[in-house]
């Protein structure tokens, strides 16, 4: 085995964001760009030497090239064995499952998640640690610092490894197992949910579903689990073939991007009873019923209130966590159940310690992400199975389950407005101005909403006491309404401003209103306080979820 030491020049922009390093494909194709970043990972994650590592991606453009490079670099760094998904495919939750099941030292996931793919799209790389979860900030900071002065990387000279068939082979002393991407994950799902009960839901002939894999990674998982194992209707999975460019689509499961699914569910008499979608790398989910959308924050609250009905959660929910911008719907459930509810910064890495320390069982984010202690990532297929299992037990529709939840706990009207690709200087100035106002807003009243707290959110991890600051400006009102502002850490063009708005209504006679109408005044307040139109020259957001 011949290890080459390649001389390279450092890049100064390899700073991981909310979820790994995410750049355009064109950036990743720059000379040694990927190699540099992977070398920095190996330099920090010295535990990979002599250990097992998991490797796979969401199948987007540049996935297979990147996998071949990483295999050869792993061999050069003394990795003992690599498990790689067939054709380079592994969903993010499947990687987390495999790391935990086979006690790997870590894993690399190639994905830019919900960002578009193809030669003109985005690519990304994430590193997950031995607990199966995203590397914590201390790790990604160390990787970034090293990347800025990196001058060589190590790679083995070897032929490419065929990834199309299941086999074991090797490069030098390193074993390679090309594995079925679905098997282990499907077994885990069977252990968490009541598969026979979901099977009987489908075999009754009275219930059908439609799952939109958006030509991303979940296609093979959905075909196997929903159609083959659970016996769902034959046309249950649409867009189930992973494609390098997601057929030109934007693999983000929300009402704006999963249009085909929404049309199917809104098609009237013959529409399926249940609809769902997942994103590029399979960790997000959207749940819908016939002409009915379940807000992801509500989904987390509903899961928390009902988890004890499901086999995997029979012992109950220890505690829950949600990210800052996620609505306070789950807080109401936690309060009623007498369990802890943690508020964390955005990004799954902040849930890892809480899960490992057994403080929480379920967690979620407003951005169509939910998960539990079964792995250390959010999990799209898991969320769909959770809902299917719940429907099978309750024999109620998605809408009935959600409405009865609202009538018990109240409804949190919620929306997120995204202003994409705005000039970075404009975005920074907007935030500087907002921060400057923090002290002055307290006690002010806008359309009857009185400000009781305004701050720049910071989080002290209760397990390791690490402190994370500047996570978003939040404004809380006396009536429990809320506005949160933050900048995205996953975009690749300029800055994306996210504004999150919520309003809590207990009166059931007001639970049938259009969300944007119910939030209109607060939307106005949010725009005024941050001077969004004046500063960004935009009067409407690019995406509303
Ligand atoms: C977004 C979401 C965040 C999520 C992250 C990664 O981050 O808001 O909740 O954890 O994407 O999800 P940001 O910084 O752009 O708001 V995924 O499915 O890209 O791994
Ligand atoms: Co994702």
Ligand nearest to the CA of 543: 1
E strand spans, 373-518: 411-422, 445-446, 449-456, 459-460, 467-468, 473-477, 482-487, 495-505
Find the 529 Cα to ligand 1 centroid distance in Å.
Answer: 25
Report the nearest-CA residue for atom 18 of ligand 1.
113
Paired tokens of 311: 């086999």
Ligand nearest to the CA of 20: 1
Q: What is the pLDDT of residue 129?
A: 97
Find the 25 Cα to ligand 1 centroid distance in Å.
Answer: 19
- 379 C-beta closer than 6 A to ligand 1: no
For the chain, 545 residues long, give each residue's pLDDT as a single digit of tens: 899 999 999 999 999 988 899 999 999 999 999 999 999 999 999 999 999 999 999 999 999 999 999 999 999 999 999 999 999 999 999 999 999 999 999 999 999 999 999 999 999 999 999 999 999 999 999 999 999 999 999 999 999 999 999 999 999 999 999 999 999 999 999 999 999 999 999 999 999 999 999 999 999 999 999 999 999 999 999 999 999 999 999 999 999 899 999 999 999 888 999 999 999 999 999 999 999 999 999 999 999 999 999 999 999 999 999 999 999 999 999 999 999 999 999 999 999 999 999 999 999 999 999 999 999 999 999 999 999 999 999 999 999 999 999 999 999 999 999 999 999 999 999 999 999 999 899 999 999 999 999 999 999 999 999 999 999 999 999 999 999 999 998 877 889 999 999 999 999 999 999 999 999 999 999 999 999 999 999 989 998 99
Ligand nearest to the CA of 112: 1
Any idea which residues carry the catalytic annotation? 113
- 93 C-beta closer than 6 A to ligand 1: no
CA–CA separation, 285 vs 253, rounded Å?
Answer: 6
Q: What is the pLDDT of residue 489?
A: 81
Q: Determine the distance from the C-alpha atom of residue 218 to the mean position of all C-alpha atoms in its chain, rounded to a whole number.
A: 13
* Helix H or strand E encompassing 362: strand 362-365
Q: What is the pLDDT of residue 492?
A: 78
Find the 114 Cα to ligand 1 centroid distance in Å.
Answer: 8
Q: What is the pLDDT of residue 409?
A: 98
- 348 C-beta closer than 6 A to ligand 1: yes
Find the 133 Cα to ligand 1 centroid distance in Å.
Answer: 15
Find the 123 Cα to ligand 2 centroid distance in Å.
Answer: 12
Q: What is the pLDDT of residue 19?
A: 87
CATH superfamily name and code, 185-409: Alpha-D-Glucose-1,6-Bisphosphate, subunit A, domain 3 (3.40.120.10)
The side-by-side arrangement of strands in the sheet containing 274-277 is 237-238, 209-212, 274-277, 286-289, 292-294
- 418 C-beta closer than 6 A to ligand 1: no
CATH fold match for the domains 185-409 and 411-544: no
CATH number of 411-544: 3.30.310.50
Q: Give the position, in ligand 1's atom list, of the atom nearest the Cα of 113.
A: 19
Ligand nearest to the CA of 324: 1
Q: What is the pLDDT of residue 493?
A: 82
Find the 329 Cα to ligand 2 centroid distance in Å.
Answer: 23
Domain formed by 3-181, architecture: 3-Layer(aba) Sandwich (3.40)
Which contacts of 512-516 are long-range, i.e. CB under 8 A and separated by 24 or more positions? 513/413, 515/413, 515/414, 515/415, 516/415, 516/544
- 18 C-beta closer than 6 A to ligand 1: yes
Paired tokens of 509: 């006679």
Find the 490 Cα to ligand 1 centroid distance in Å.
Answer: 6
Paired tokens of 182: 């679905």
Pocket test for ligand 1, best of 367, 377, 427, 491 (most atoms within 8 A of CB): 367
Q: Give the position, in ligand 1's atom list, of the atom nearest the Cα of 281.
A: 18
For the chain, the structural domain boundaries read: 3-181, 185-409, 411-544
- 347 C-beta closer than 6 A to ligand 1: yes
Q: Give the position, in ligand 1's atom list, of the atom nearest the Cα of 18.
A: 14
Report the nearest-CA residue for atom 16 of ligand 1.
488
- 279 C-beta closer than 6 A to ligand 1: yes
Report the nearest-CA residue for atom 17 of ligand 1.
113
CA–CA separation, 368 vs 326, rounded Å?
Answer: 10
Paired tokens of 535: 């500063």
pTM comes to 0.95
């Amino acid at each position: 085995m011949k290890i080459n030491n390649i001389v390279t020049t450092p890049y100064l922009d390899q700073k991981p964001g909310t979820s790994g390093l995410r750049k355009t494909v064109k950036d990743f194709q720059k000379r040694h760009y990927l190699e540099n970043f992977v070398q920095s990972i190996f330099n920090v994650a010295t535990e990979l030497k002599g250990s097992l590592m998991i490797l796979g991606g969401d199948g987007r453009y540049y996935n297979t090239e990147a996998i071949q490079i990483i295999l050869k670099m792993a061999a050069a760094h003394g990795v003992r064995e690599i498990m790689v998904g067939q054709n380079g495919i592994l969903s993010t939750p499947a990687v987390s499952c495999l790391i935990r099941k086979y006690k790997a030292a870590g894993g690399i996931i190639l994905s830019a998640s919900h960002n578009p793919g193809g030669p003109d799209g985005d690519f990304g790389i994430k590193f997950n640690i031995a607990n199966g979860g995203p590397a914590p900030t201390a790790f990604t900071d160390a990787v970034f610092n090293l990347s800025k002065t990196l001058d060589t990387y190590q790679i083995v000279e070897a032929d490419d490894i065929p990834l199309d068939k299941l086999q074991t082979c090797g490069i030098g002393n390193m074993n390679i197992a090309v594995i079925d991407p679905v098997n282990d994950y499907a077994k885990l799902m069977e252990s968490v949910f009541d598969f026979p009960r979901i099977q009987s839901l489908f075999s009754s002939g009275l219930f059908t579903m439609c799952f939109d894999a958006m030509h991303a990674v979940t296609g093979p998982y959905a075909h196997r689990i929903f159609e083959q194992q659970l016996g769902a209707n034959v046309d249950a999975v649409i867009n189930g073939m992973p494609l390098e460019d997601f057929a030109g689509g934007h693999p983000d499961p929300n009402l704006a991007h999963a249009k085909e699914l929404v049309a199917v569910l809104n098609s009237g008499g013959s529409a399926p009873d249940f609809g769902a979608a997942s994103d590029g790398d399979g960790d997000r989910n959207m749940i819908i019923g016939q002409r009915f959308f379940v807000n992801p924050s509500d989904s987390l609250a509903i899961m928390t209130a009902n988890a004890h009905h499901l086999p995997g959660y029979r012992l109950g929910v220890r505690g829950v966590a949600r990210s800052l911008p996620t609505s306070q719907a789950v807080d109401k459930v936690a309060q009623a159940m007498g369990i802890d509810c943690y508020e964390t910064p955005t990004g799954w890495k902040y849930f890892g310690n809480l899960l490992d320390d057994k403080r929480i069982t379920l967690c979620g984010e407003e951005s169509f992400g939910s998960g539990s202690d079964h792995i250390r990532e959010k999990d799209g297929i898991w969320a769909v199975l959770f809902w299917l299992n719940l429907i099978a037990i309750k024999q109620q529709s998605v809408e009935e389950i959600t409405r009865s939840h609202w009538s018990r706990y109240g409804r949190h009207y919620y929306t997120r407005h995204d202003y994409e690709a705005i000039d970075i200087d404009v975005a920074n100035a907007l935030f500087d101005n907002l921060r400057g106002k923090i002290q002055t807003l307290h006690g002010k009243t806008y359309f009857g909403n009185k400000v009781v707290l305004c701050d720049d959110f910071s989080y002290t991890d209760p397990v390791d006491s690490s402190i994370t600051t500047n996570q978003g400006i939040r404004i809380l009102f006396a009536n429990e309404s809320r506005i949160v502002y933050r900048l995205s850490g996953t975009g690749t063009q300029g800055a994306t401003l996210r504004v999150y708005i919520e309003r809590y209504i207990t009166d059931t006679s007001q639970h049938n209103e259009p969300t944007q109408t119910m939030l209109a005044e607060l939307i106005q307040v949010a725009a005024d306080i941050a001077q969004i139109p004046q500063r960004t020259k935009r009067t409407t957001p690019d995406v509303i979820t």
